[in-house]
Structure 1
Amino acid sequence: MRKLLLIVSAFLLWQCESEEKPSIDGIWRAEVPTLIGPIPFNLEIETSGDLIKVFAINGEEKLELDNAFFKNDSLHITMEVFDAKIVAHVDDKKMTGIYTKKLDNNSNRSGVFSASLGDSYRFIPSSETAEYDVSGKWQVSFTEPEGKVYPAIGVFTQEGNKVNGTFLTSTGDYRFLNGNVVGDSLKLSCFDGTHIFLFKAKINKNRLEGGRFTSSLLYKETWEGVKDENAKLPDPDSLTYIKGGFDKFEFSFKNTKGETISLSDEKYKGKVVLVQILGSWCPNCMDESKFYVKWLKENPEKNVEIIGLAFEKSTDPAFAYPKINKMKKRFGMEYEVLLAGAINKEEANKSLPMLNHVMSYPTTIYLDQKHRVRKIHTGFSGPGTGEYYAQFVEGFERFMELLTVE
């Protein structure tokens, strides 16, 4: 009998030890392979009992991902709003597994995921010296696979070999990029839960040449740039406008409770209204929503309302409503967000026929107290753009002051 008890006790002890969760707290350096090389990015993991929090670290940004938990011997990190996840086996300060992202056509794209605990660098340790300095502004052009060219501005700051910055385009920015000058090359990357951005280019004095860019596992573009402190993009207030033949902006869509909402509702009468065209899948919209939520809290006396028009990967309420509600909860969006249509811009144009086009997610339509369109701002220059974000904030506050005192 005693021998049996000893065997049972040993088995229970082994079972407890085998189910003990590995230590995962700290900074991880992760990689996912792409057509132009592995994308490095950093994750920070914090645990408290069974609670696991995972953050994507990009320069100054610390972005909390939706959910994390252990199942069997693997860590599951889910980005539910973005239909992406990481599932990885953890063993001796290493993780190996799969990164999966659901595409717009409901198919999945997956790549090998690996990570090591304790490494906080991107491409090379920041202690190494750099031969070149890319700080400043760059006039950039990107070329898509089919040959379409679009302009951008690169804005970078460099300390040693470490580079932070982003690219601005007419439809938004590439958020917080972080990387290094490695020899005669500039390398930048970002992971925000849905996008895995990788930029590479050769540095040739005041030029960036032979650039390559990927935003997913199997997509790439080329790019080049020239140093130009006067680099400019088209005016974001001139790109989207009300077409001839339409004398006002109006809509009628349902919220996630199934209630039909329109500008004629009593709640919006006599008020300045911002109509935010967005999607729960859109990181630039995430940055803009954070800004709007903060501004509303700081300016309750302004009597301003915001209405979000969400364009989602599916218009099926069973799919779209949970995404919208998750987004609202995550960013504290207490204003209405309506399901307006599908993400496809042609479909979006049908939902809002008075606009010349829906060029960008996000786009904001500014309506005065009589609900006349006073301005339409295409895209959003988020906090990763530095001085451009500061300029946006200043201009926004000045224009809102004008609208609310008329």
Structure 2
Amino acid sequence: MESTDNTIKTGPWRVALRTQGQEIPFIMEAVEEEGKTMLYLVNGGERILLNDLQPQGDSLKIGLHIFDADLIARVNGDTMQGRFVKNDSPTPYSIPFTAVHGQQHRFAADPAPALYDFGGKWEVVFSDTAGNRYDAIGMFEQQDNHVTGTFLTETGDYRYLEGQAAGDQLKLSTFDGNHTYLFTASPTGDSTLQGKFYSGMSGYETWTARRNPNAELASADTLTYLKPSYETLSFTFPNLQGEQVSLSDQKYQGKVVLVQLLGSWCPNCMDETQFLAPYYEKNKDRGLEIIGLGFERSPEFEKAAARLAKMKDRLDVGYDLLVAGTSDKEAAARALPALNHVMSFPTTIFIGRDGKVRKIHTGFSGPGTGQYYEGWVAEFNKTMEELLAEK
């Protein structure tokens, strides 16, 4: 019998979460760096570093990046089993998983040949069990059985999805340390699909898609705006040390200010922050400030500040982060009464040197969206150059 000393062998591990009668697989790679075991979550072109591994009784506690979640694993040679524990949900939960060393297939190890081409751009409608509907765009690339891609919505994207086409069946999954997603689909015609979407312990939606190379969503710059009679924004919230910070403070006067509505629990916010943090370091001497307003799961200041501090450290954030409230969108809207609403985390507010709000961008199309991310970067740089050039 193999020992259970919780030593993780280097190389790939196929991990399978089991929830809602489904298997949601992902790949985790173990490497040795400077005598220490590091893990990476692998989804498509993304690798998320996990370097917080701590013994916990007869198991190993693997901290999941910036998120308030862990993998609790019992390692036994070439296998491990345990639970994905999500601490920051309104009702904390855990999902069981098993893992096998040396396996790199996400779904079937020897899939049937693909009989349908899922590649391309799709006009998508998701529907939940209550009958609520929302639009999306599906973007997929397929090479034989291998499929990657994502879904874009008006409030963000579903990040890096990876999976396979086998016969006429599509399966895509992702696990980023916070979200547990499985998408399945099959064709209902030459250019139409019918699918299912499973998330976490109980999230379930259906989706339909129609191939449409011209599919578009509403402009992200039109969804959130200032109420009539407002031109500026005002707020005062505590920083991570508990000191009150206001947008009217001298530090921000006469500067271009970006106000980022975010949460440490939000993978789209992580993506945006990984862009904004180095951008700030490169441009802060040009008269730029960024203020991150953190809307956290916990209403307790100490817990919320600790989560934001971990995010600040892991993502090397040099700009100010404030504890602004809880992650409820209605509460966020009450905290910023000049806005018509808050419909997404992140939301980014561009303020000129004169203190006036110039633009509000809802959601974020991250690097997993390819051309949409590149388009966002180009538009962001154009807007910022114009604002920074103003006297």
TM-score bin, normalised by smaller chain: over 0.9
* Identity across matched positions, percent: 44
- Which amino acid is 1:198 matched to? L
Offset at residue 72 of structure 1 (A): 4.4
CA distance 1:210–1:86, shift in 2 (3 Å): same
Identify unmatched segments of 5+ residues in structure 2: none
CA contact (8 A) 2:4 2:74 kept: no
2:23 corresponds in structure 1 to: 38
How far apart in 2 are the matches of 1:310 and 1:363? 11
Residues 53-75 of structure 1: per-residue CA shift (max 9 Å, x gap): 22110000001135113344422
Q: Which structure has the highest helix share of the two?
A: 1
How far apart in 2 are the matches of 1:349 and 1:126? 50
CA contact (8 A) 1:195 1:216 kept: yes
CA distance 1:22–1:341, shift in 2 (3 Å): closer
Residues 299-319 of structure 1: per-residue CA shift (max 9 Å, x gap): 345321100001011221121
Offset at residue 48 of structure 1 (A): 4.6
How far apart in 2 are the matches of 1:297 and 1:281? 24
- Which amino acid is 1:180 matched to? Q
How far apart in 2 are the matches of 1:195 and 1:371? 37
Aligned counterpart for 1:61 among listed residues 20, 42, 46? 46
Aligned counterpart for 1:240 among listed residues 203, 219, 224? 224
How far apart in 1 are the matches of 2:184 and 2:365? 22
- 2:356 matches 1:376: no
- The secondary structure found in structure 1 opposite 2:388 is helix
How far apart in 2 are the matches of 1:72 and 1:345? 39
Q: How does 1:254-265 map to 2 (within 5 A)?
A: 254-265=238-249
CA contact (8 A) 2:281 2:318 kept: no
- Which amino acid is 2:166 matched to? V
CA contact (8 A) 1:201 1:208 kept: no
Identify the range of structure 1 (230-239 vs 87-96) with the bigger mean alpha-carbon deviation. 87-96
Offset at residue 277 of structure 1 (A): 0.3
Offset at residue 81 of structure 1 (A): 3.8
1:322 corresponds in structure 2 to: 306
CA contact (8 A) 2:6 2:75 kept: no
2:182 corresponds in structure 1 to: 198
- Which amino acid is 2:341 matched to? H
Q: How does 1:334-349 map to 2 (within 5 A)?
A: 334-349=318-333
2:266 corresponds in structure 1 to: 282
Aligned counterpart for 1:266 among listed residues 226, 232, 250? 250
How far apart in 1 are the matches of 2:4 and 2:331? 50
Offset at residue 132 of structure 1 (A): 1.7
How far apart in 1 are the matches of 2:121 and 2:110? 22
- The secondary structure found in structure 1 opposite 2:107 is coil
Offset at residue 21 of structure 1 (A): 5.2
How far apart in 1 are the matches of 2:322 and 2:247? 12
Aligned counterpart for 2:287 among listed residues 300, 303, 306? 303
- 2:199 matches 1:219: no
How far apart in 2 are the matches of 1:85 and 1:21? 15
Q: How does 1:5-404 map to 2 (within 5 A)?
A: 22-35=7-20, 37-48=22-33, 51-65=36-50, 67-79=52-64, 81-105=66-90, 107-125=91-109, 129-404=113-388
Q: What's the TM-score, normalizing by structure 2?
A: 0.95
CA contact (8 A) 2:112 2:167 kept: no
How far apart in 2 are the matches of 1:128 and 1:302? 57
How many residues align? The count is: 389
- Which amino acid is 2:19 matched to? T
CA distance 1:203–1:248, shift in 2 (3 Å): same
RMSD: 1.9
CA contact (8 A) 2:280 2:319 kept: no
Identify the range of structure 1 (294-303 vs 17-26) with the bigger mean alpha-carbon deviation. 17-26
CA contact (8 A) 1:126 1:161 kept: no
Q: What's the TM-score, normalizing by structure 1?
A: 0.91
Offset at residue 46 of structure 1 (A): 1.9
CA distance 1:70–1:378, shift in 2 (3 Å): same
Residues 377-401 of structure 1: per-residue CA shift (max 9 Å, x gap): 0000000000000100111111111
Offset at residue 294 of structure 1 (A): 2.2
CA contact (8 A) 1:179 1:188 kept: yes
- Which amino acid is 1:77 matched to? I
How far apart in 1 are the matches of 2:29 and 2:54? 14
How far apart in 1 are the matches of 2:185 and 2:243? 50
How far apart in 2 are the matches of 1:230 and 1:399? 25
How far apart in 1 are the matches of 2:346 and 2:264? 11
CA contact (8 A) 1:365 1:373 kept: yes
- The secondary structure found in structure 1 opposite 2:19 is coil
Which protein shows a greater Rg?
1
CA contact (8 A) 1:36 1:214 kept: no
